[in-house]
Amino acid sequence: GATSEILNDLGAKVESFDLFPEYFKLQNIECKRADIVDKIPLEKEYADVLICQEGIEHFSDQLKVFKEFNRILKNKGKLIVTTPSYSNLAAKFSYLLFESESNNKMPPNEIDDIWMSDKSIINTIYHGHIFLIGMQKLRMIAKLSGFKIDKILYTRVSKGSLLLFPIFYPLILLRSLLTYYNNMQKDKNLSKTRKKDVYMEQLRINISPSNLINRHIFVVFKKEIDCDDIDFRNDKLIVSFDMAT
């Protein structure tokens, strides 16, 4: 409840939700029970700002969660997401070695990553860090849900990532640039401007030193459009099902 308390003291109207509100310690703010994968009990376009603090890595259906965020946010509203970074070099290296979050942890398993399961309270499992996510995938899920990146903020350095940075960064930079330029040459029917906008945003994320050494992801998204109005259709890429092959 620390964030809720700070926002409340600043004069914000705070609505707090948790799967297990029993652990919420503040007395002057009510924390309501909510399973976000089901639904947040708020009206459409209710909130100006949403904060998902160290939560997205616990959700099995992250796309559904983002669509629910879209539903309750006002147009141009802000969504703040923080999560352990799966994009920093230490996390990437740990995944290479043992598909784990860090080099001193086991991969996700049913012993370490079932953090709460109490059917006397709620018939839902509180998962651990089973669904860790990096910036590229987080960006894509946000796009599919009507959001765009407003800003990515630096939090604190991952010491392991800092040690790996001078070794791997030249290779990451070179490979990322080659991949970008190779893909810019593909799909000639697509607008080059459109491809550049998308691919360049991804390139900048991938070669950003902050992204590679940041211990946590701290990103602010802005709601661009309602989920119901999203349309990624591109007639130039659609092939008729009637076409003989």
- 48-103 residue pLDDT tens: 999 999 999 999 999 999 999 999 999 999 999 999 999 999 999 999 999 999 88
Task: Give domain 34-157+213-228's CATH superfamily.
Answer: Vaccinia Virus protein VP39 (3.40.50.150)
Q: What is the pTM of this model?
A: 0.88
In the prediction, which pLDDT does 122 show? 62
Predicted pLDDT at 117: 66
The residue ranges of every structural domain in the chain are 34-157+213-228
pLDDT digits (tens, 9 = 90+) for 135-192: 999 999 999 999 999 999 999 999 999 999 999 999 999 999 999 999 999 988 888 9
pLDDT, tens only, 10-50: 999 999 998 888 878 888 889 998 888 888 999 999 999 99
Q: What is the mean pLDDT of the chain?
A: 91
**What is the percent of the chain where pLDDT is above 90?**
71
Three-state SS letters, the chain: CHHHHHHHHCCCCCCEEECCHHHCCCCCCCEEECCCCCCCCCCCCCEEEEEEECCHHHCCCHHHHHHHHHHHEEEEEEEEEEEECCCCHHHHHHHHHHCCCCCCCCCCCCCCCEEECCCCCCCCCEECHHHCCCHHHHHHHHHHCCEEEEEECCCCECHHHHHHHHHHHHHHHHHHHHHHHHHHCCCCCCCHHHHHHHHHHHHHHHHCHHHHHECEEEEEEEECCCHHHCCCCCHHHCCCCCCCC
Query: What pLDDT, on a 0 to 100 scale, did the predictor assign at position 231?
Result: 86
Q: What pLDDT sits at residue 235?
A: 52
Q: Give residue 76's pLDDT.
A: 97
Residue 236 has pLDDT above 90, yes or no: no
